[in-house]
Structure 1
Amino acid sequence: MTDQASRIPGVVTPQHRGARELAHLIDPGRTPTDEQLAIIGAGPEPTLVVAGAGSGKTETLSMRIVYLLDHADELFGRPISPDEILCLTFTRKAAAEIATRADERISLVFDRDPETGEPRPRDPERPAPTVATYNAYAAALAAEQGLRVGVDPDSTVLTDAALWQLAARTLEEWTSHVDTDTAVSTVRSALPRLSAQLREHGVTTDRLRSYLDQMTAAFDALPKKQGDPAPTAMTKTLADRIKAVRTLRSMTDLVDDFRARKHAGALLDFSDQVAIAVELAALPAVKESERARYRAVLLDEFQDTSPAQLQLFVELFGTEHPMMAVGDPNQAIYGFRGASAAALEDFKHLLDARDASLSVSWRNEASVLHAANASVDPLREATSVEVKPLMSRGEHLGIPEPVRAAAGVTAHMAETLEDEAEHVVDFIVARRHELGHQPDRPVEAAVLCRRRATIPMIVDALAARGIDFEVVGLGGLLDTPDVADLVALLEVAHDPSRGDSLMRLLTSERVNLGPRDLIALQDWAEQLAGPRASRESGASIVDALAQEPPAAFGSQGRALTDEARSRLRSLQRAIDQIRQHTYLPLTELIAFTERVWGLDIEADVASPDGRIRRNVDAFLDAARSFAQGAEHATLSAFLHWLEAARSEERGLDAPVKDPEPGAVQILTVHAAKGLEWDVVAVPGAVQDSFPSISRSKGAWLSGDPEVPWELRMDARSLPVWNWRAATDHKALADSIDELREAAGDHAVDEERRLFYVALTRARSHVLVSGSWYTDGKKPRSPSQFIEELRHAGIVTDEGWAPAPQDDQEPPAPRVQEGVWPRPETLPQRRRRDLARRVIAREPGTVPDGVALPLANEIAAMLAEGQARHGGASEVAMPSHLSTSALVSMRRSRDEFARTLRRPVPQEPTFAAQRGSALHAWIESRYGQIALFDDDDLGPDEDLSVDLEALKASFESSEWARRVPTDVEVDVELPLGGVSVRSRIDAVFPAGGGLDRVTVVDWKSGRPPKDDHERAAREVQLAMYRLAWSEHTGLPLDQIDAAFYYVAADRTVRPERLLDRAEIEALIAGP
C-alpha cells in the first residue's frame, strides 16, 4: 500500500509516527503539551475540543492534519491526499491562516530526502488541505447538489442591496394590513431577517401561523380573573405586552410573498443556501458523496455556529465519521447573529463525542487569566461540557513570570465620563512606560468599548494628549462631512422638498451661512408662504432658495448680506446642474456631483493626508456595489438604501488607513475577538451598560419580529415562557414578567462571555473602568462583573472615586467652547486663493461668487482652447492617481494628458458589463463584493465568451481551489510626488508560507497580443506588488504577481516587473 501511494500524485505516504515525533520534526525546540498531543493523536471517533483563549488551537489543528495523513491507512483503510481533509472556520483570514500553517507543517514532515531525512522543496503535485469558511461550504454544497431538491442551478445569490430592494418592493406592493405600529422602514429591514431566521431554525410559516393562532385563541379565552364566567377583553396595557404575537402573525403572509418573489426569480440568500444544504444532508446519496470526498472533518470556532449548521454536519457525517469540533463556550458571543451558545453541548450529546481540552494559554500572563477564569465561574457550573480554567505558560512550565507592579486587572470608578476617559489615557501611558519599547515592536494598546457611544470621549481624551489612535470597523462613512454633503446634494436634487438636506448644505463649510443670514432666509420663506405663515407652519426654505428675495427685502432689520446672496446663487446653480444630470448612471452621477461641489479639488487642497479622497472613494465604491447588485439602480432606490444603511449598518464602513506603529486602537469588544494587545482598557463598565441588558424587555415579545423561542432548534438552552399555564389575565401578566426576568439572566450570561473575551485580549495589563455619572442625573453602579472580581480580591482598585451620597447633586457638565462664525481655516484660504488665480486667467468674464467647480471648468476650457489653437499647453499632474491611470500613461502619455484636460465618460459596453459581473461573482465566491477594474478589458476582447463559461473556467483553475488571505484591498501609496490608489483583487499564500505571497489580478478576457499593451498592463501588476510590499512590510522579492485571464484560463506571471524607482520615473515623465 505504501508503494502504491507513492505512485499516486498528491497522496501522502503514511509512516505511522507518533504525535511527539511529528512535533519534533516540525520544531525540535518546542514540545506540545500533553493535552495537545492527545488531540493531535486522537482516534477517529467524533471529538469535542474545548480550546480556551490563546491556547494554540490553530497549531494543534495543523498538527492534527499532519497526523491524520501519517496514519491514514490505519484510520481510513488507505493513504489519502491532503485535500481529502476538510477544515472549516468562520473568516477567510482564519481559513487562510490554517491552510498556510497546515501546508507548511505537511511540507516539513513529508517533503524530506528519504536517504538523509533533510528537508527538500514542497512537492508541487500535492494539493493543500481543503480549508474554507462555513458559509462557503454550505453555498458550494447547495450549488453542486441543489438539483436533487429542485433548486434551479442558475439561481442567483442576492447581494445585500438586492435583498433590501426585494423586501422594499414586497412592502410597496402589499395590499393587506400589517398589524404593527412600527415604521415601514423597520418592517422592511425586519422582513428578510425574519425569513432568514425561520429558515435557519427549520420553521415553516404554516407552523408559525398555527402556533401563534393557538396562542391568540388561548389568550382571547382568558377571563380577567379566575372564577369569572366568561372571557374578558384585555386591558390596553396587557394587550400591548403581547402585541408582538399579532405583529408576528401578520408578517407570516409577508414572508410568504417575499419568498414567492425569490422563487419566481430563481433568487437565493445565504439562509436559503444553508437550508438547502441541510435538506441535502438528509439524502443518502449526498451523505455518501461527501463522506467519500472528505475522509476527516475539522470544525473550528464551533461555538459560533447556528443550530442549522450543527444539524448540517450531524446529518451529513454522523457518529461514525472522523469529525472534530473545536471551540470555547466562554467565547460564544454572537447570539445576536444567530449563533447558539449551546452548540458545543449539542455537538457532544448528538454525536456522543469524547471530550478533550486545551487549557494552557500562550498569550496571557497568570494575573490576567485568574481574573478571566473567575469572571466565567458561574457559566462553568451551568454547562455539561467540561471547561477547565486556563493556566498561563509560566504556570504550566513552572517558570516564574516577571513581577509587574500593576500587572493583571485594575478596576476604577471615576466621577464623570470625562474623568474616566482621562484615567484610561493615564493608564495606557503608564503601562506603556512600564513595559518599555520592545526590541522588535512598540507596546500595543487598545480600548475595547461595549457601546459605540463610549468611543467619542476616548477619542477626545487621546487627541487632547497628542496620542496617535485608530478607530476600527465602526462604520460612520455617511456621517463624514464631505460624504454627508454629497448625500444631501443628491437628496435635494432628487426631492426638492428635502429642507433638512438643504439646511445641511446651507450650514456646510462651503456655503457656511451665519445665523443672521439663516434667520433672514427663514423670514423670506415665511413671506413666500403667505401672511399667516409662521415658523410652526413649515414654511419652505427650499422655496426661499429657488426664489431669491428682492434687494429691498428685510424683516425686523434682518436682510440677506451680499455675500450670502452670492453663496446662495452658487448653491442653487450647483443643485440645478445636478438635477439636470440625474439621467446619468448612478456612479457617474455621484462623480459629477463631486466635481460640481468641488470635492475633486477640495480633496487635494484641504486634505493632503488623503482623508477626504478615501471617504469619497469609499462612497463611490458603495454606490458601485449597490448598482451591481440592485435590480433597479436608480437614484431614488440608492437614497432609500442609504437610509436603511444609516439605521441598520451604522452608516456604512468608513475606510481605515494603516495605523501608525504604536497607535492606540479603539474598537468594540465584539470586533476584538481573535485579536490581542499588551495593554487593554475596557471603559463603560457600569450596570445596564456592561452588562448591557434591559429586564423590561420580554425576550422575543419585544424588539424586531423573531422566531418564538419555543420553536427554535436551540430551545433547550433558552428561557421557557409558560403561557399555556395562564388561567386569567393576571397569571398571563405574571408569566410575561417571569419570562422577562429569565431573559435578563440569559442576556447576562452572554454579556459575561463578552467580558471574558475583553479580559483575555490583554497579554499583561487590563483596566476595567466606569463612572458614577454618565448621561443622567442619577448615579450608576459599577458593573456586577467588576464587583465580583473586587470581592474575590483579584483586581486592584486604587484611585476609586467615592460613591455619591443620596442627596448629592450631579457634577456640572464641562463647558464646551465654540466660535461663531467659524473662523476661516487654512484649507479654506487655500481654496479661496486658488479660485482667485483660476478666475484671473480671463479677468471680468466670471461673475462674483462663482462656484469653484465652475471656475475649474472654465480653466479647463481655456486650456483646451489654447491647445486647439496651437498655443503652449501643459497639464498639471493630479495629486492622486489610480493604478489604471498609470496604465493609461504607459500606453500614451499624450492621450493621458488629453484625458486629464477634458475627461469624457466611457460608454458602457457589453464587455464592461461582463467583466463587472465576473469580478462580482469571483469576489462573492470568496465572500466579498467586488468592484470592476476599468482597465480589465482591452480592445481585443472576445465578447462571445459568456459569463457562465467564464465561471466554469474559473472553477477549473488553480485559484478556485485556493483560499486568499486578503480580497479587495485598498492601498494608497505616496509615489513620485503623487498618491497612487490601488485596489488589489486577491492575495494568496504562495505555498511556502506567509513569508511569501502571490498578488493576483483577475482579467475577464484574454492576454494582449502586442508587446506594447502587455508592457502597459504589467505596470498595473507592478504597482499592486509594490503597494502590497509597502502595506505589509514584506520585501518585494518575497511577493510574486500574476494575471489570471479567465476567458483563456491562463495565468500569466511576468518575468520582471517595474520597481519603485522605475514607476516614479514613469510618473515624472521625460
Structure 2
Amino acid sequence: MQEQVLPAELNEYQRKAVFNDSSACLVNANVGSGKTTVLTAKVKYLHEACGVNCEDMVVLTFTNKAAGEIRERLGAMRDQGELVQMRYFGTFHSVALQLLRERLPVQQLGYTPDFLVMDPEEELDMALRLIQDRKLQIKYRNRLKKRLEQEDEEAVPSENGREKLPSPPGRRIQDDMPVLLQAMKEEKRARNRMTFADLIRNTEALLAEVEWRPAWVIIDEVQDCDAWQLALVRRLLDKGARLFAVGDPNQVIYSWRGSACNVFYTLRTEYQATELSLPVNYRSSASILEAASAFSQYGSSLTGNRERGSKIVVKKHYDPFQEACYLADRIKELLGSGISPGQIAVFYRLQNQSGVLEEVFAREEIPFQVSVKHTLRDCPVQYWLLQVLRFSLSREDYPAGIYALSHKEYGERRNGKPITEKTAAAVLHGEKDLKLPLYERMLAFSECCPSLDSPQALYDYFSLDGYLRPTSASFQKDKGRILAMLESLFRQQPSEGENLPDRLRSFLNDAVLYGLPEQETKEEDGRVKLMTLHASKGLEFSFCFIIGVNYGLIPLRTAGFEEEDEERRLFFVGMTRAKDFLELSYYTNPDNRVMPGESRFIRMIPPELIQEETADPAQGNLQELRKMVRQEIEARQNRAEETLEADLPELPEEPSQPQPAGKEIIQPRTVIHRKYGRGTVIREDDAMMEIEFEGYGAKEFLKAFSAMEFVEE
C-alpha cells in the first residue's frame, strides 16, 4: 500500500522522509532537492495509506504561492473530493483566521467570529487618527509603521514557548507609545478587527482553551518561523499533534522579520525529533552548485545529479547604466537563440536598482516584469469598493464609511464637488441630515442581500456606474476591475448555510491576506523577471544575472557577524536560483555608497569555477583610459613630427603656432549610436567626444572605442 500511493520518481532520501513514522521529523532539504514533492507526498501518504482525515492535518506555508503549488500537486485528492475538507491548509495567517472563526472562543478576547482582518496600511491609519484625536505625543512619526511592528506592550513568547515573559521594563524612546498601543487594542475590539499579528497571537492564546487538536502539523520552509509562529507550532504540538517539517537553514534570509537560525535546533531538542536530509539537488549544474557551496553555512557541500555545465561568468562594468545596456544586448542574443523570456532573470540587492534596467529595457523593447510587493491601495477603485462593502457589513466601521463617502474620485458629491471627511463623519454620527444615496444603500444592504445573486446585481445595487463617472477617461478600466473583483467573489464556493454577508466577510479577509485578483503575481513566460534577491526565493530560472556584486550592495555594509552571515545566505539563495547559466557583475565606478571593484563574495568562489570575461575597454576605468589614449596620441604626433623633420629639407624659419594635443575642435555633428540612438556632438578633442542624446543626456566617449556612425547633414 505504501508503494502504491507514492510517485515512482521519489529517490531513496525522499522516500525515507515520507515513510518516517516518528512523532517529530525534521527534513533538512538542500536547495532544489524536491522539498515540495516530499511534503505533498507526505500528505498523500498520511491520508491514503495511514487513514488520517484531511481535516485532522494542519498544513502551514509562508506564501500563498507555496500553498497553491501544493494544492495543485494534490490534484488527485481533489478529484476524490478529499482536499476540499482540508480546512486548515495555507499560510500561517490564513490557517489562524480559519481557526479563530470556526473553533476558538474569540468572545473571550472581546471579538465576534465575523471579525475582519486589517491590512498594515489600515493599521497605520488607525494609529495616526488616534494620535490626532487623543493628542498623543509620539516621536519619529515617519517611522511609526516600523515602531508599531517592533514595540508592543503585550508579552512575547519565551524560548521554551510555555510561558510568557513581560516586555523589557525600560523603553529607549520616551513618549506616549504605550498609551497608543492600548488605545489601538481597544479600538480594534470595538470595530471587531484584527491585524496580521493578532491572528497568530490570539490563536496561540486561545488554543489552550479548547479540546480540539490536530493529528499532524506539517510545515513548509520551517526555518522562516518567527517567535510567534514558533509559539503557535509549539502550542499545537503540546496538545499532542505530530510534526513533519521541511526546510533549509541555509535559506534564512528574513531576520529583519523575526526569523531565527535556530528553529531546527529548537524543535529537534524540545521534541527529540528525527532529523533527515534531502542532499540531492535536481535544479542547478554542478559548477553552480560547487560555487554556491562556498556560501553554504549548514551541512555538507551541495550534491547534484546534473553535468558540470558552464563556468560562472564574472563581468565588470563602468557603471549601472553601461551594465544595463550590456544586459539588454545579452538578453536580446538569448531571445534570438530561442530562449523564453520567462527563463531569464536579473537579481539585485535593493529595489531602487531596477530603475535603470527598466529604462533601458523599455527603450530596447525587451519584455520585462518587475517583481514588487503590491498593496491593496495600488488599485484605488477596488480599494474604495472594499470600504463600501466593509461599512455595508458593519455600521460601526466609521473609518470605512468616511473613506467610502468622501473619496475625492469615487465618493459622494454635492454641487459637483466631493464631500469632505468632516461632512462624511457628521453624517455617519447623525450630526448632519444629508441625502446621500450611497450612504442609504450601505445602510439598507443587509435587508437587500437575498436578491443580490450575481456580480451585476451587486454592481447595480450600489449604482456604481454613477460613482465611476462614465465621462472619465478611466471609466471602462475601472468598471472592468470592479466587475473582475465581484466575479471572483461569486466564483467562491459557499460553505453550507453561508449567506452573502458571510461570503463577503470571507472575501474581504482573503483580499487582505492574499491580495485582489488583478494583483496576483503570475509567472508569465513572456517576460524577463527583474527582482531583488529576497524576492527570488522559491523560484528558478535557466539564465540568472546577479548585478552590483560590490561591497556596499552585495554584501551591504553590516554592523556585525550575524548580518554578514545573512548577506552570505542571501547571496547563496540568489546563486541557487540558476539552473544552467549564472553571471555575476560589478562596477569599477559605482556611486559614493558603494566600493569600486569586485566584492569579496566573488573572491570566495574557487578561481577554477570562474570565467572572467575581458571587459569592453569602454567599460573600464574611464579616467585611466583617457590618460592612456592621450599619451598614445601625443606619442604618435611626436613620432610623426620627428619623421617629417628628418625627411624634409631645411626651410627658412617662419613664425608658427603649433596646435597642442587635446585642443578642442568645435564642429557640431550628428551621430548615431547603437545603444543611445541619435545624438549631437557638443564637445570634441583629439581623444574624447561628448555627445547629447535625447532622453539619455550627455555621454562621454573615447574616440578610439566609440564605434559611432556619423550622419551627413
Whether TM-score is above 0.5 comes out as yes
Q: Match for residue 316 of structure 1? A: 236
Partners of 2:198 and 2:190 in 1: CA distance:
14
State the secondary structure of the residue aligned to 1:210.
coil
Q: Are positions 1:263 and 2:79 aligned together?
A: no
* 1:676 Cα deviation from its structure 2 partner: 1.4
Q: Are positions 1:410 and 2:313 aligned together?
A: yes
Is the contact made by 2:252 and 2:261 (CA closer than 8 Å) also made in structure 1? yes
* 1:71 Cα deviation from its structure 2 partner: 5.2
Candidates 127, 142, 158, aligned match of 1:167: 127
Q: Residues 648-686 of structure 1, C-alpha deviation per residue, up to 9 Å, x if partnerless?
A: xxxx99968978744312222222222211111121222
Q: Match for residue 246 of structure 1? A: 173
Q: Could you say what the CA RMSD is over the residues aligned between the two structures, in angstroms?
A: 4.5
Is the contact made by 1:678 and 1:765 (CA closer than 8 Å) also made in structure 2? yes
Candidates 571, 575, 598, aligned match of 1:782: 598
Partners of 2:418 and 2:82 in 1: CA distance:
60
* 1:443 Cα deviation from its structure 2 partner: 6.7
* 1:65 Cα deviation from its structure 2 partner: 2.7
The residue type equivalent to 2:94 in the other structure is A
Q: Match for residue 391 of structure 1? A: 303
Is the contact made by 1:368 and 1:760 (CA closer than 8 Å) also made in structure 2? yes
The residue type equivalent to 2:104 in the other structure is Q
Q: Match for residue 679 of structure 1? A: 543
Q: Match for residue 210 of structure 1? A: 169
Q: Match for residue 578 of structure 2? A: 762
Q: Match for residue 924 of structure 1? A: none
Residue range with higher mean Cα deviation, 35-44 or 253-262: 253-262
Is the contact made by 2:315 and 2:615 (CA closer than 8 Å) also made in structure 1? yes
**Greater share of strand:** 2
Shift in CA distance, 755/590, structure 1 to aligned 2, threshold 3 Å: farther
Partners of 1:448 and 1:578 in 2: CA distance:
48
Q: Residues 213-242 of structure 1, C-alpha deviation per residue, up to 9 Å, x if partnerless?
A: xxxxxxxxxxxxxxxxxxxxxxxxxxxxxx
Q: Match for residue 257 of structure 2? A: 337
Is the contact made by 1:201 and 1:308 (CA closer than 8 Å) also made in structure 2? yes
State the secondary structure of the residue aligned to 2:74.
helix
Shift in CA distance, 662/126, structure 1 to aligned 2, threshold 3 Å: closer
* 1:91 Cα deviation from its structure 2 partner: 2.7
Candidates 684, 691, 698, aligned match of 2:555: 691
Candidates 87, 100, 106, aligned match of 2:59: 87
Shift in CA distance, 812/92, structure 1 to aligned 2, threshold 3 Å: farther
Is the contact made by 1:196 and 1:271 (CA closer than 8 Å) also made in structure 2? no
Superposition pairs of residues 363-512 of structure 1, within 5 angstroms: 363-376=283-296, 379-380=297-298, 387-394=299-306, 401=307, 407-431=310-334, 436-437=337-338, 444-473=343-372
Q: Residues 468-497 of structure 1, C-alpha deviation per residue, up to 9 Å, x if partnerless?
A: 2222335599999x99xx9xxxxxxxxxxx
Shift in CA distance, 669/209, structure 1 to aligned 2, threshold 3 Å: closer
Partners of 2:599 and 2:517 in 1: CA distance:
30
* 1:327 Cα deviation from its structure 2 partner: 0.8
The residue type equivalent to 2:313 in the other structure is T
Partners of 2:105 and 2:691 in 1: CA distance:
62
Q: Residues 908-964 of structure 1, C-alpha deviation per residue, up to 9 Å, x if partnerless?
A: xxxxxxxxxxxxxxxxxxxxxxxxxxxxxxxxxxxxxxxxxxxxxxxxxxxxxxxxx
Shift in CA distance, 140/619, structure 1 to aligned 2, threshold 3 Å: closer
* 1:417 Cα deviation from its structure 2 partner: 1.5
State the secondary structure of the residue aligned to 2:586.
strand
Q: Residues 238-285 of structure 1, C-alpha deviation per residue, up to 9 Å, x if partnerless?
A: xxxxxxx134x64223222222333344432221221122223445x5
Is the contact made by 2:249 and 2:261 (CA closer than 8 Å) also made in structure 1? yes
The residue type equivalent to 1:267 in the other structure is R
Q: Residues 964-999 of structure 1, C-alpha deviation per residue, up to 9 Å, x if partnerless?
A: xxxxxxxxxxxxxxxxxxxxxxxxxxxxxxxxxxxx
- Identity across aligned pairs (percent)? 23
Shift in CA distance, 46/599, structure 1 to aligned 2, threshold 3 Å: closer
Superposition pairs of residues 112-123 of structure 1, within 5 angstroms: 123=80
State the secondary structure of the residue aligned to 2:167.
helix
Shift in CA distance, 337/578, structure 1 to aligned 2, threshold 3 Å: farther
* 1:754 Cα deviation from its structure 2 partner: 1.7
Is the contact made by 1:199 and 1:272 (CA closer than 8 Å) also made in structure 2? no
Partners of 2:81 and 2:376 in 1: CA distance:
45
Unaligned ranges ≥5, structure 2 = 385-412, 425-435, 440-461, 490-515, 628-687, 698-713
The residue type equivalent to 2:304 in the other structure is S
Candidates 65, 82, 86, aligned match of 2:43: 65
Superposition pairs of residues 536-935 of structure 1, within 5 angstroms: 579=417, 598-600=473-475, 613=477, 617=481, 661-693=525-557, 695=558, 741-742=559-560, 745-776=561-592, 780-789=596-605, 792-800=607-615, 804=621, 815=692, 817=694
The residue type equivalent to 1:349 in the other structure is T
Is the contact made by 2:341 and 2:367 (CA closer than 8 Å) also made in structure 1? no
* 1:138 Cα deviation from its structure 2 partner: 1.9
Is the contact made by 1:772 and 1:803 (CA closer than 8 Å) also made in structure 2? yes
Candidates 193, 213, 216, aligned match of 2:149: 193
The residue type equivalent to 2:360 in the other structure is A
Q: Are positions 1:52 and 2:34 aligned together?
A: no
Candidates 72, 83, 96, aligned match of 1:138: 96
Is the contact made by 1:81 and 1:126 (CA closer than 8 Å) also made in structure 2? no
Unaligned ranges ≥5, structure 1 = 1-14, 73-78, 108-121, 213-244, 381-386, 395-400, 487-574, 604-612, 626-651, 696-740, 821-1070
Partners of 1:576 and 1:37 in 2: CA distance:
69
* 1:781 Cα deviation from its structure 2 partner: 3.7
The residue type equivalent to 2:21 in the other structure is G
Partners of 1:349 and 1:472 in 2: CA distance:
38
* 1:150 Cα deviation from its structure 2 partner: 4.1
Partners of 2:277 and 2:188 in 1: CA distance:
44
Partners of 2:564 and 2:315 in 1: CA distance:
21
Partners of 2:316 and 2:189 in 1: CA distance:
56
The residue type equivalent to 2:96 in the other structure is A
* 1:202 Cα deviation from its structure 2 partner: 7.1
State the secondary structure of the residue aligned to 1:145.
coil
The residue type equivalent to 1:468 in the other structure is P
State the aligned residue count.
535
Shift in CA distance, 470/263, structure 1 to aligned 2, threshold 3 Å: closer
* 1:774 Cα deviation from its structure 2 partner: 2.9
